[in-house]
Each structure stands twice: as structure tokens, then as C-alpha cells.
Structure 1
Amino acid sequence: MKIGFIGLGVMGSRMVKRLIEAGYHVTVFNRTAAKAAPLEKLGALRTDSIADLSKDVDVICSCLSMPSDCLDVYLGKEGVIENASQGAICLDFSTVGVETSRQIATQAHEKGIQYLDAPVSGGPEGAEQGSLTIMVGGEKSSFESVLPVLRKIGRTIEYLGPTGSGSIAKLINQYLVAVHSIAASEAMVAGAAFGLKSEQLYNILKVSYGESRILRRHMEQYVLDRQFDPGGALKYVHKDIALANPLFNKAGITEYLGMFAEKSFSSAIEQGLGDLDMSSVILPLEKECRVTVKRSDN
């Protein structure tokens, strides 16, 4: 089985590495060609266009940043749908809106191409270890055909139903990521404002009912050590919560925490924090309350 992979960012590059190590022949494309160099050394083939990549592979994977990127890659004149062979299966690991997934799937189907929305969760470490959670929507027969590929990069792999189902599940997950990020930030800033030692408060919370995976991630890897190099950039969480919120409205929920979370992430971007890690959403709160959440020796 020949695989094409479009998008070699922090997630895509790690997924490609695992596929090569599993013995797959992988052709890659990235707008910044230099990002392909380490993968070429491992055995990947690099192509200069999406059109060329799409013509000669059985499975076309993508891991892109924004919905607009996906629309360009799949629906552009030199994109996947216009150039892939009939019977090819597309695996889009990007986090996009439901309508984006359905739009691409509809045009793919008209060309005899299968499209699966298959967003992932688990971060760079999950991609590195092959332990990603993969949420898949689309034709079940196509899912079953590519399941061996998915098992090389994911540990929890769930087929959820028709096109868009994977995107819905991922956006619900990202909704929780955004809301938990705000709640954890508020809790830690409030503790500091009342004179509690941040590290001590965190040690209490992480073994109590207030514990969450986001609290642990943000405090242990970023906030307490004042290190905000991005594992997952703040601007992408803002994109995700903005896509997720309409789902909650469509579900019939009229007031929901995601509205405040979206506003908080938007404000952080306006303050120049968009390219920092998502945990940096705590910084405007610290500034507002004139405190710093950090280890005692920092």
C-alpha cells in the first residue's frame, strides 16, 4: 500500500516517521520543503506538488492547521480530489468543522474517491509514541481498509459513523480542552492572589476531585516553570473552540461555557499570545490580578 502524506508539522512529521518505520512507502508534501529533509533521510519520497503526490498513492493523508488549508488541499484545481485515482482513500487528520468535512466528502464521492474525517488527539507525544486517539467518520468499508495504517499511529481508534462524526467528536474534545484550560487558569491565579503557594496548591488539586489532564499538562509542563514554547499553540485552540461552539448551539444548549472560553482565547490572541502554548491563556489573568503562578524557587 502506497501512502501520500500532506502536512509535516509537529504532528504530521511524527506520524510519517511511524509509518516509515512500519514499512510503508510514503511520499510527502509540505509547503516548506525543508521540513521533509529529515523524513527523506528515513526513506520518504518528497514531491513538489499535491497533484503529483495524489496520482500515485492508494491512501492520501493530511494533517493541516486550518479548515481553509484543507479546502485548498482537497478541492483546489491542483488538489487531491482533482488528481487522485478512483478508489483512493483520503484520511484527513486535521481538526475542522463538520461542514468542511462534509463538503470535501461530497466532492470526493462524485469522483469515486473515499474521504474519512479522522481527527486525532494526544499531542506530539502521542504521535511520537503511536498512541493517538483517532476519531473516524465516513464509509465503514473504507475505515476497515485503512485500519492497519491507523493502528501504526493510534492506540484508541473509534469508528463513529457517517461523514462528520469524527469531526464532531474531536470538536467536543477541544471544547473541553478550552474550557478546562480557562478553569485551571482561574483556579491557580485565584490561589496565588490569596497568597497560596502555587506548587503546593497544584499538588493538592492534582490528587483531589478538581484534578484534570489539562491542569496537569499546563502546570507540570508549562506554567510552573514559566516555559510557554508551544506543544499546542493557543491560536489553534481558539480556532477549535470557535468551531465547537456552534455545535452546542445546534444541540439546543442556549448558554454554555465555551462562549466565555472563546472570548478568553480571543483576548489572549489580541495580546500577542497566539503562537505560544495554549497554557499561556493564564497570562492575561495573571496580569489582571498582579500575580504569577510559578514554583517557589522561580
Structure 2
Amino acid sequence: MKIGFIGTGVMGSRMVKRLLDQNYEVYVYTRSKEKARPLQEMGADYVGSIPELAKVCDLLCTCLSMPTDVVEVYCGPNGIVENARHGTICLDFTTVGADTSKSIFEIATKKGISYLDSPVSGGPEGVENGSLTIMVGGEKLVFEKVLPILKVIGGKVEFLGPAGSGSIAKLINQYLVAVHSLAASEAMVAGAAYGLDSEQLFNLLKVSYGDSKILRRHMDEYVLDRQFEPGGAIKYVHKDVRLANQLFEEAGMKEITGQLAQRAFQQAEENGLQDLDMSAVILPIENASDVVVKKINKDTL
């Protein structure tokens, strides 16, 4: 099976590497051939356009930044739907709204192309060790055909139902990511404002009911060491929680904590933090309270 890949950023490039490591034949398209060079050195073949990629591959994977990118890559005049062969299967790993996934599924189906919304959770480290959670919506028979490939990058791969189901599950996950990020940030800033040792407070919280995977991730890997290189960038979590809030509101919920999280991530973006890790949402909160959540070098006290 020839696998095509569009979107070889932080996540996509790692997915390509895992597929190559399992001896799959992988073709990649990037706007810049130079960007594809490291993947070529690993064994991937570079293809110079989306139409060419679509025509040569049996399975097409996309891992893009924004819903608009997904729509353009699939439905644009030089996109996948117009150029892929009948019977091609598409896997979209991007986090988009359910309406986007359903729309692309319908357009692709009319052309004899199968489309699965397959967003992932677990970050770059999840790709590297093959432990991603993959949430899939679409046709089950198609899902079963590509399940061995999904298991190359995913430790937990679940088929959830019709087109859009994977995207709905991912947005619910991202809602919790955003809300937990804000709550963890506020809690740690409050502790620092009242003079508590941030590392000591964190060590207490992570063995108490206030513990969460986000609290541990943010404090252990980013905040306490004041290192905010992504990871998952602020701008993407802002996009995700905005889409999640729309989903929740459509379900009848009007006043939700996600609205506060959306405002916090929006403020972080407005402060120029959009390309930093999502844990950097704490920075404007620290500034407002005039404290810094960090490790204290007790040897200097």
C-alpha cells in the first residue's frame, strides 16, 4: 500500500517516521521541498503537488493546522477529492469541527473516496512511542481496513460512529485540556501569590484529588522550569476550545467554563504567546498577580 502524507509538522513528521520504521511505502508533499529533505533521508519519497500525490497513493493522510487548511486540501480545485482515484481512503488527523468532517465525508463519498475523521491526542511524545489516542468517525468497514496502520501510531484506537464522531470526541477532549490548563494555572498562581513554595504545592496536588494529567504535564515539563517551547501551541488550543464551545452550545449549554478558558487562551495570543506551549497560558495570569510559578533553589536560601 502506498501511503501519502500532507502536513509534516511536529506531529505529521513523527507519524511519517513511524510508518517508515514499519517499512511502509510513504510519499510526502510539502510546499517546500527542503522541508521534506529529512523525511527523504529516512526513506520517504517527495511528491511535488497534491494532485500528483493523490493520483499515486492508495491511502492519504493529512495532519494540518486549521479547519480552513483541511477544506482547501480536500475540496480545493487542486485538492484530494478532485484528483484521488476511486477507492482511495483518506485519514484526517487534524482537529476540526464535526460539520467540517461531515461535509468532507459527503463530498468525498460522492467521488468514490472514503474519508475518516481521525483526530489524535497525546502530543509528539505519543507519536514517538506509538501511544496516541486516535478517535475515528466514518464507515466501520473502511476503519477496519486501515486499523493496522492506525495501530502503528496509536496505542488506543477507537471507532466511535458515523462521520464527525471522531471530531466530536476530540473536541470534548480539547475542552477539558483548555479548562484544566486554565484551572491549573490559576491554582498555582494563587499558591505563589500567598507565598507557598510552588514545587511543594505541586507535589501535594498531584497526590490529591486536585491532580490531573494537565497539571502534571504543565508543571513537570514546562512551567516550573520556565521552558515554554511547544508541545501543543497556544494558538491551536485556542482554536480547539473555540470549536468545542460551539459544540457545547449547540448541545444546549449556554454558560460553560470553556468560555473562560477561551478568553484566557485568546488573551495569551493577544500577548504574543501564540507559538509557545499551551502551558504558557499561565503567563498573563502570573503577570496580573505579579508572581512567578517556578522552582526555588533552596541551596541559595
TM-score by length of 2: 0.98
Query: CA deviation digits over 1:134-186, x for unaligned, max 9?
Result: 00000111101101110111010000000000000000000000000000000
CA deviation digits over 1:252-291, x for unaligned, max 9? Answer: 2221100110011101111111111100000001000000
Q: What stretches of structure 2 of length at least 5 have no aligned partner?
A: none
Identity of aligned residues (%): 64
The correspondence of residues 29-48 of structure 1 with structure 2, limited to 5 A, is 29-48=29-48
Query: 1:36-185 maps to which residues of 2 (within 5 A)?
Result: 36-185=36-185
CA distance in 1, matches of 2:33, 2:221: 30
Which residue does 2:9 correspond to in 1?
9
Distance 2:44 2:254 in 1: 49
1:23 aligns with 2:18: no
CA deviation after TM superposition for structure 1 residue 31, in Å? 1.9
| Poorly superposed stretches of 4+, deviation over 3 Å | none
The residue aligned with 2:277 is: 277
Deviation at 1:32? Answer: 3.0
Cα offset, 1:233, TM superposition: 0.5
Uncovered stretches (5+) of structure 1, i.e. residues with no partner: none
Paired with 1:9 and 1:240, the residues of 2 have a C-alpha distance of: 18
Per-residue deviation, residues 102-152 of structure 1 (Å, max 9, x unmatched)? 111111011000000000000000011111100000011110110111011
3-state SS of 1:152 partner: helix
Q: Report the AA paired with residue 192 of structure 2.
A: A
Q: Aligned residue for 1:196? A: 196
Rounded Cα–Cα distance in structure 1 between residues aligned with 2:34 and 2:129: 24
Q: How far did residue 35 of structure 1 move?
A: 2.3
Q: 2:41 is matched by which residue type in structure 1?
A: K
User: Aligned partner of 1:22: which letter?
Assistant: Q
Equivalent residue of 1:8, what SS?
Answer: coil
User: Which residue number in structure 1 is paired with residue 243 of structure 2?
Assistant: 243
User: Aligned partners of 2:177 and 2:275: how far apart in 1?
Assistant: 17
1:171-228 Cα deviation digits (max 9, x unpaired): 0000000000000000000000000010000010011110000000000111000111
CA distance in 2, matches of 1:33, 1:190: 48
Letter of the 2:123 counterpart: G
Q: Secondary structure at the match of 2:136?
A: strand
Aligned length: 298
Distance in 2 between residues matched to 1:113 and 1:87, nearest whole Å? 5
User: Could you say what secondary structure the match of 2:10 adopts?
Assistant: coil
